Amino acid sequence: TEPGGMDRIRSMMGVCPQFDVLWKSLTGMEHLWIFGLVKGVPVKDVFKEASALLEKVALTHAAAQKAGTYSGGMKRRLSVAIALLGDPKIVFLDEPTTGMDPISRRYVWDIIESAKPGRAIVLTTHSMEEADILGDRISIMARGDVRALGSSIRLKQKFGAGYSISVSAKSGSASQMADRNDNGNSKEVKAFFMEALGLHPREENRAYTTFLIPREKEKSLPHFLEELEKRQEDLGISDIHLSLTTL
C-alpha cells in the first residue's frame, strides 16, 4: 500500500506463469530487456544479465529471433529466464516444463536446481517425477486440500509401498540361456525371491526384472541382500539395483 511498494516487490519476485506471456514480434533479448527494466535492473547491467541468462537456458543462438518463431520448449525456457532475471529472492514457477520433450525437461530441471541457492522457489507440477527431483519440501494437494507435506524421503517412508529391487542376469552358455526368459533373467532368480520373500516380479523387461518389497518385509531385507550377494555368481546376476519406490 505504500508508494513504490510494487516496484520493490517486482525487484524481489520472479514469476513463470502456466501459459507463456510473450510478445510474438519481440526477440528473446528484447523480452529480457523489457522485463529487466520493469524489475528495476540497472540499465548498465541489463544486457550483461540478459545475455548470461540466455546462455544458461541455451537460447543464445535465438537471442535475436522473434519469440513467435520459438518452439514450445524454447518459449518455456525463455519464461524461466524471465522469472530468474534480476536475482529475485522468491520465484514462482507454474508448471514450468509443461509440453516439453524429455531432453528439454531435464535441461530445465538442471537450471532450476542450480538457481536454488539464495532464494525460495515455489513450483507447481502434475509430474511426481519432477516433484521428486526438484522438491526439497513437497506438498501434495487433492481437490483443493493439502493431503501430505514433507520431504521426498519422508513421504516415501510414510506412504510408499517399500523398496524396489531390480536384478539383471549375465549372458551365459547356451544351456543356461535356454533356462532363462526372453528378458535374460534366470528362473533361478525368480525362484530365489519366491522362496526367500514370497514375491513375484512386479515388472520384467529385456534388461531387468523388478521386485517390489512391501513394508512388512523390510526387516528381512538385510539378511536377504546378504544372501543375494553371496549367491550372485550362482544365480548369474550381473547387476542389482535397490531403491525406494517413486512418488
Out of 68-72, 135-139, 209-213, pick the least confident. 209-213
Out of 50-54, 117-121, 200-204, pick the least confident. 200-204
| pLDDT average, residue stretch 92-116 | 88
Are the beta carbons of 23 and 79 closer than 8 angstroms?
no
Kindly state the percentage of the chain with pLDDT values over 90: 36
- What pTM was computed for the model? 0.70
Out of 11-25, 45-59, 77-91, 205-219, pick the least confident. 205-219
190: helix, strand or coil: helix
| pLDDT average, residue stretch 26-40 | 92
| pLDDT average, residue stretch 94-120 | 88
- Residue 143, by phi and psi: left (phi above 0), alpha (psi -120 to 50) or beta? left
The predicted pLDDT at position 196 comes to: 85
Among 135, 43, 111, 121, smallest CA distance to 89 is for: 121
Instruction: Provide long-range contacts, Cβ within 8 A and 24+ apart, for 65-68.
Output: 65/27, 65/28, 66/24, 66/25, 66/26, 66/27, 67/22, 67/23, 67/24, 67/25, 67/26, 67/27, 67/28, 67/31, 68/24, 68/25
pLDDT tens readout for residues 147-172: 999 998 888 877 777 788 888 876 55
Place of cell 532464494: 119
